Amino acid sequence: MIDLDEIHWSFDDSVTDDKITSLLAPRFQLIAHVEPEKTYTLLDDHDWAIWHSGAALLRDQEGGCRLHIGDEEPELDCCEPGAKARFYWDFPQGQLRDALKERVKLRALTEKAQRMVVHKRYQVLNRDDKTVVRISVLEHRLAPQKEDGQMSCSLMPSSLITVTPLRGYQKEFKAVVQKLQRWFDTLDVKPETQKPSLRRVFTQPSIQVKPLPPMRYGIAAGEASEVAIRKMGAVMFTRANAQVEGVIGDIDTEFLHDYRVYIRTVRSLINLTKQAITADAHLFLKTELAQLAGATSQLRDLDVFLLTEQDYRDLLPSNYDRGLSELFKIMGLERKRAWRKVVQTMSSEAFEQKTKAVSDELERDADLASKAAKKSALTLASGCILKRYQRICRLGGLIVEDTPDDDVHEVRIDCKKLRYLMQIFAELFEQKPLAGLIKQLKGLQNILGLFNDYSVQKEFLQNYTEGTNRSVELVAAVNALIGVLHQKQLMARRQVESVLAVFATDDISAEFEVLFTVSSKADTGVALTASKKEKQQQKQKEEG
């Protein structure tokens, strides 16, 4: 029995008007409506965030953009941005812009693929010249590509076909479907339930979508600590180096952000587990990674301020606009110089050699020269995490109203180290309780981070009040900003004691103890949580 819902087919060929006419004759006639061929460009960010969300952003040859969500008809469109729209904020206010902001955030949109598409619509008429069925054909092919100055030929077209029933003409719908299916049977093409859409056009032939990065490093609970550390460090450093091309191309600021995050994470891993590697290896990696990160610090600082320009403008009355415009103009010029300096560094032979030396050190065989190096990864990670948490509770308990800011910053740094440890070694622990503890830690870090950020921002801005070329308007705007940031810092400081107290409660302390306390078989790297997992996995294998 044929379902009276829409029927779809997909196959690698074109469908001509004559072919459909001959298949349906003599019982039915066709009226064809063929749209002019259009070129669609698929846009996405470096990580294919839009595609991985189940959507597709398409730009037509006129510059209009549509966001196709799933396999539905386009839900969000915009005819205004044109070909120059690279970031979500280049689109006019509206649902499309909001949807892009949610998916790509600060990343730039780049062209991923192009297709030439012809949309054919057919009215199927009975002998009374009444429309009884509708047929839609999306015929598409790869757009010609320029190679060595020559335009390459596009490949054989593919087609997505839909037959739609109309109320009161069920028999005619069944008849049309049966006639078409007889032909498709000769091509070994089966009907589909997935609705054709322009998003599906870009899956045939398949495009090279960048996969989502794995969250795990592939380490085992009983693996020697140094082996696991080198394995994780090598993966992180490889991911850092994958960002270099984007930094040099200045595609968006997230390439530099991600580069620094990966470098900082490797540094933290090496420093927090230094007992598991030799002193020489630790000193070398610590020094080299610090130099790699330091070469990009100024550029990142300027990126942060320029990205949040509107936030700073919102802090002050409009009479400071002229001074703020001058400030951000100067920062923009400084950013160009800083970026050129980073490009020069990353394009140099010295940078290439330094990068190779770090990779070689991380990827070489473990020395296993100490007891800590031979400990299981789970034992080392559990001990480091628990000790760091206990240190935070101890130092946090000493924070009072008149505690020096430096002491508060020390606790903040310890919280950052704890977060690194928990996230780096996450695959060794039960995910649900771990996620809950990380969430609690993030809440504490948000307050401590704001307190630190306001301090750093004040110091950074103070540099712009010095010099002979600063206008009265600029100095006034900067001083006003510093004043506002100081008040915000004081507000954040007043919350520090309460959030530290919450993080040190008996309930949270107990959760840390349960999750990160290893059993009496600690030397084999078997923790209470890991043991439970292994027993479950063994049971599943036996049942299977």
Residue ending a domain, among 339, 370, 401, is 370
- 354 closest CA partner among 269, 444, 263: 263
Q: State the burial class of residue 36 (Cβ atoms within 10 Å of its Cβ: 0-12, 13-18, 19+).
A: exposed
Instruction: Tell me which of 370, 390, 421 is where a domain ends.
Output: 370
Among 158, 254, 243, CA closest to 200: 158
Confidence at residue 133, expressed as pLDDT on a 0 to 100 scale: 97
Would you say residue 212 lies in a domain? no
Pick the closest to residue 270 from 244, 242, 241, 231 (CA basis): 231
The DSSP H or E segment spanning 7 is: strand 7-11
**What pLDDT score does 49 carry?**
95
Domain membership of residue 541 (yes or no) is no
452/471 same-domain check = yes
Examine the domain organization and report whether 108 and 171 are in the same domain: yes
123 and 256 share one domain: no
Here the CATH number for the domain that contains residue 22 is 2.40.320
Query: Can you give the pLDDT at residue 199?
Result: 81
- What residues pair up with 8 in beta bridges, in sequence order? 162, 192
Same domain for 461 and 435: yes
Q: Report how many domains make up the chain.
A: 3
pTM: 0.86
For residue 301, is it within any domain?
yes
Which of residues 354, 370, 386 is at a domain's end?
370
Residue 544 lies in a domain: no
Residue 387, domain member (yes or no): yes
* Same domain? 225 vs 133: no
| Tens of each residue's pLDDT in the chain, 544 residues | 345 688 999 888 888 899 999 999 999 999 999 999 999 999 999 999 999 998 999 998 888 888 988 655 556 776 665 567 899 999 988 889 999 999 999 999 999 989 899 999 999 999 999 999 999 998 988 877 655 545 444 556 888 899 999 999 999 999 999 999 999 999 999 998 777 777 877 875 567 888 887 878 999 999 999 999 999 999 999 999 999 999 999 999 999 999 999 999 999 999 999 999 999 999 999 999 999 999 999 999 999 999 999 999 999 999 999 999 999 999 999 999 999 999 999 999 999 999 999 999 999 999 999 999 999 999 999 999 999 999 999 999 999 988 999 999 999 999 999 999 999 999 999 999 999 999 999 999 999 999 999 999 999 999 998 876 889 999 999 999 999 999 999 999 999 999 999 999 999 999 999 999 974 344 444 343 443 444 455 555 555 4
Instruction: Say how far apart CA 470 and CA 164 lie, in whole Å.
Output: 69
Tell me the C-alpha distance between 138 and 38, whole Å: 11
What is the residue-wise DSSP string for 388-401? Answer: HHHHHHHHHTT--T
Which residue in the block uniquely carries the two structure tokens 């100067």?
Answer: 330
Domain contains 214:
no
41: how many CB neighbours lie within 10 A of its CB? 19
- Where in the sequence is the domain holding 49, given as residue range(s)? 7-201
Contact of 40 with 118, CB cutoff 8 Å: no
- 354 & 410 share domain: no
Pair 415, 365 in one domain: no
Q: Indicate whether 125 and 52 sit together in one domain.
A: yes
Residue whose tokens read 């948490």 = 389
CATH number of the domain where residue 264 is located: 1.40.20.10
25: left (phi over 0), alpha (psi -120 to 50) or beta: beta
Q: Pick from 358, 353, 346, 345: which is nearest to 283 by CA?
A: 358
Assign residue 289 a region (left: φ > 0; alpha: ψ between -120 and 50; beta: otherwise).
alpha
The answer to whether 345 and 351 have CB atoms below 8 angstroms apart is: yes
In a domain, 542, yes or no: no
Residues 134, 161, single domain; the answer is yes
In a domain, 207, yes or no: no
Q: Are residues 346 and 385 in the same domain?
A: no
Give the three-class secondary structure for 29.
strand
Do 418 and 323 fall into the same domain? no
Q: Which residues contact 212 (CB under 8 A, 6 or more apart)?
A: 47, 52
The span from the CA of 237 to the CA of 97, in Å, is 34
Residues 178 and 226 in one domain: no
